[in-house]
């Protein structure tokens, strides 16, 4: 479970099983590191992919489901596959988000709302029966190549004025962006494992991922 006053690094795998098998053993075992089964990864490999991560990682595992409907079933799937946290879209119906949060609570998972494409995250939050554990401020991967698109840190203070939740920053996060996210009040930064052919920013899969992860942890302390 997440703890207050600690800053976390979430490392997301979006490619194939081989990249997980090759890279994950080199990531330092730290309570401050979360491992994410990214949405493309789950679409390719389903629960098998999450279970592979579970066999290799003793800490928190985020299933980035981006649930839009069928909340109870999707939370069950994440839990049965070994995840300890899962995501729902902030653009989903209030009924879906409420059911997602309660289902996560019942099964002992951390609930995360991904505010991808949501202009006013606080308005979403105000409609809920109970807040989630984490709110994700997310610049989508398709937005990364658009000049001027940024993670909207202005929402952090707005959310914290009403809710005691963790804030996660995602989308094109490198060391510089991670430093900015923490400065603006984020608790979690999400860095994607990327290849040299990807147009996205993150941790290159041919880098010394162990050293880069430790540099992230030092940067966000």
pLDDT single digits (tens) 158-177? 999 999 999 999 998 999 99
Question: How far from chain centre, in Å, is Cα 210?
Answer: 19
Average pLDDT, rounded, for the chain? 95
User: pTM of the entire structure?
Assistant: 0.95
With CA atoms as reference, report the closest residue to 133 among 159, 152, 155, 157. 159
Output DSSP code: residue 148.
Answer: T
Question: How far from chain centre, in Å, is Cα 165?
Answer: 14
Alpha-helical runs (H) found in the chain = 17-23, 39-56, 71-81, 94-107, 121-126, 154-160, 175-183, 209-220
> CATH fold of 8-220, please?
TIM Barrel (3.20.20)
pLDDT confidence of residue 140: 76
pLDDT tier at 103 (50, 70, 90 boundaries)?
very high
Helix count and strand count (H, E) for the chain: 8, 9
> Contact at 8 Å (CB) between 50 and 81?
yes
Cα–Cα distance measured from residue 60 to residue 89, given in angstroms and rounded to the nearest whole number:
20
pLDDT tier at 148 (50, 70, 90 boundaries)?
low
Buried b (16+ CB within 10 A) or exposed e, 196-221: eebeebbbebeeebeebbbebbebbe
* Across 183-204, average pLDDT: 94
> Would you say residue 49 has pLDDT above 90?
yes
> Contact at 8 Å (CB) between 121 and 128?
no
Report the share of the chain in percent with pLDDT over 90: 91
pLDDT confidence of residue 16: 96
pLDDT tier at 12 (50, 70, 90 boundaries)?
very high
pLDDT confidence of residue 143: 79
Q: In this predicted structure, which of 36-45, 116-125, 145-154 has the lowest mean pLDDT?
A: 145-154
């Amino acid at each position: 479970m997440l703890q207050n006053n600690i800053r976390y690094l979430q490392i997301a795998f979006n490619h194939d099983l081989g990249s997980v098998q090759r890279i994950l053993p080199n990531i330092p075992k730290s309570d401050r590191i979360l491992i994410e089964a990214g949405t493309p990864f789950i679409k390719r490999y389903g629960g098998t992919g999450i279970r592979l991560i579970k066999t290799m990682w003793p800490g928190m595992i985020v299933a980035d489901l981006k649930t839009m409907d069928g909340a109870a079933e999707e939370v069950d799937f994440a839990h049965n596959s070994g995840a300890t946290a899962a995501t729902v879209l902030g653009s989903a119906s209030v009924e879906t988000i409420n059911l997602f949060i309660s289902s996560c609570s019942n099964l002992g998972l951390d609930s995360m709302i991904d505010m991808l494409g949501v202009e006013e995250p606080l308005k979403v939050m105000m409609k809920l029966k109970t807040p989630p554990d984490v709110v994700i401020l997310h610049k989508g991967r398709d937005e990364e190549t658009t000049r001027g698109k940024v993670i909207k840190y202005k929402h952090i203070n707005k959310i914290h004025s009403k809710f005691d939740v963790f804030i996660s920053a995602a989308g094109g996060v490198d060391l510089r962006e991670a430093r900015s996210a923490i400065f603006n009040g984020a608790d979690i930064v999400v860095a994607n494992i990327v290849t040299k052919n990807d147009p996205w920013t993150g941790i290159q899969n041919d880098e010394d991922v162990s050293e880069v992860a430790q540099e992230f942890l030092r940067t966000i302390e």
